[in-house]
Structure 1
Amino acid sequence: MTEPQYVAIAGSLARAIRTGELRPGARLPSYADIAERHGVSDIVIRRAIKLLISQGLVRTIERRGTFVTARPDLTRVAPERQLESPETTFGNESGSDVVIERDTARLAATAELAEALEIAVGATVSHVVTRASEDGRAVSISDSYQPAGISGVDGAAFLEETIADRLPTPAHAAWLGTPAGDLVKTVHQRFLGGDDRVIMVSDISYPQDRYDAFVFRMPIGPA
């Protein structure tokens, strides 16, 4: 999916806030100034600021302007995050050194995978493991599965997410360094086409204290 302009601008401002370039209490430039800087309309900037507000990064005071919040907690937003690469997402969250590792393999669908992807048992499935770390600290790991012949989520019309605090799988626990018996924040995703065909399923784990809140918007599709 092509990243909408408002998402890119919000990401740029979010990075400035995370890195301290825009400090708590700082007043953002006016909508007109930001729009001129990026060569877009005020409407695009309003959508970008609305996204930052939903993430808890800024607040608007009537007749005074928009200000960086005193304590900008991390908030995971979907589906906007699905339009970004992990490099962009985690890079926007902080000024840390972000490293993304990916392992890709093809395997035969187990009964569980076949049911999740609505395909035949034994059918070929693409499996991608994505690991993210910041300054050497593991912050995310995911397993994504797609039927053969499908790549990415460009054809997705809907995203379903289930959030829970769960015991991680052994592989996820090992990457995150989770002590035995401790829970992690998990996100189970299903990307569906307009015909409700399953395009991809993913299971993502984060440290339980990684995000302050989760905000959702459905469905997804071209902006």
Structure 2
Amino acid sequence: MEDPAYVSIAGQYARKIRSGDLPPGVQLPSYAEIAKENGVSDIVVRKAIELLQTQGLVRTVQRRGVFVTDRPNLVRVSPERQLESAETTFSNESDHEIQVERESTQVRATDSLAEIFGVAPGDEITHVVTRATEDGRPISISDTHLAPGITDISSATTLEETLADRIPSPTHAAWLGTAPGELTKTVHQRFFAADGRAIMVSDVSYPWNRYDAWAFRMPIG
């Protein structure tokens, strides 16, 4: 799925900021200049700037403009990032070499997964393991299970996330290279369709110190 224009624009500036091409204190081009350069409306640019602000990369000074923050932090944003592929997410965070590998298999639903998806235990579901590295260093691993007949999250309308510092599963610990008893940042995700049916469940682990902060955005009302 192609990234929305504002996500793509925010990613361009995020990479420049984190690589040092746009150092702290530097002013970004005006909304009109960014809009003209990318062939988009001011509304799209505004959303891109808001995303950069949420990630802690820029600050807005009234009547002056948008500036790179003094200390850009690495912030994981959710659920905005669900609009991105893993390749896009990590590439937007870093100017280093990113590699993402996926392994997909058909497995039998455990009792707990069968209950989540509303299927019978033993029914076939899809299991996808996604591993990411930065300059060859492991930075993420996830186990994702999809309900029968589901191939992606395009039909999802709601995302539920639980964030915790936990001892990772043995497979996640082995990939990230964590020592016995060492904690990782873990995210448990459930994606739901409009009818309330769970269509995908994912468990993601990151090195404990990968992100400075976590930001959550969701519609209300």
Please provide the CA RMSD for this pair: 1.3
**Deviation (angstroms), 1:117:** 2.3
Q: How does 1:1-223 map to 2 (within 5 A)?
A: 1-218=1-218
Look up the equivalent residue of 1:86 and give its one-letter code.
Answer: A
**Deviation (angstroms), 1:178:** 0.5
**Deviation (angstroms), 1:92:** 0.6
Conservation of the 8 A alpha-carbon contact between 1:157 and 1:219 = no
**Deviation (angstroms), 1:58:** 0.3
**Deviation (angstroms), 1:3:** 2.3
Q: SS state of the match for residue 157, structure 1?
A: strand
Conservation of the 8 A alpha-carbon contact between 1:165 and 1:183 = yes
Q: SS state of the match for residue 156, structure 2?
A: coil
Conservation of the 8 A alpha-carbon contact between 1:55 and 1:74 = yes
Deviates more, 1:210-219 or 1:164-173: 210-219
Distance 1:219 1:202, change over 3 A: farther
Unmatched 5+ stretches in structure 1: none
Unmatched 5+ stretches in structure 2: none
**Deviation (angstroms), 1:78:** 1.1
Question: TM-score, with normalisation over the residues of structure 2?
Answer: 0.96
Q: SS state of the match for residue 195, structure 1?
A: coil
Residue deviations 1:74-106, cap 9 Å, x none?
111111111111111100101110010111100
Distance 1:155 1:13, change over 3 A: same
How many equivalent residue pairs?
Answer: 220
Alpha-carbon distance between aligned partners in 2 of 1:219 and 1:124, rounded to the nearest angstrom: 33
Q: SS state of the match for residue 211, structure 1?
A: coil
User: What fraction of aligned residue pairs are identical, expressed as a percent?
Assistant: 61
Alpha-carbon distance between aligned partners in 2 of 1:152 and 1:176, rounded to the nearest angstrom: 26
Alpha-carbon distance between aligned partners in 1 of 2:68 and 2:107, rounded to the nearest angstrom: 47
Conservation of the 8 A alpha-carbon contact between 1:75 and 1:212 = yes
**Deviation (angstroms), 1:65:** 1.2
Conservation of the 8 A alpha-carbon contact between 1:158 and 1:218 = no
Q: SS state of the match for residue 186, structure 2?
A: strand
Conservation of the 8 A alpha-carbon contact between 1:161 and 1:189 = yes
- Large movers: runs of 4+ above 3 Å: none
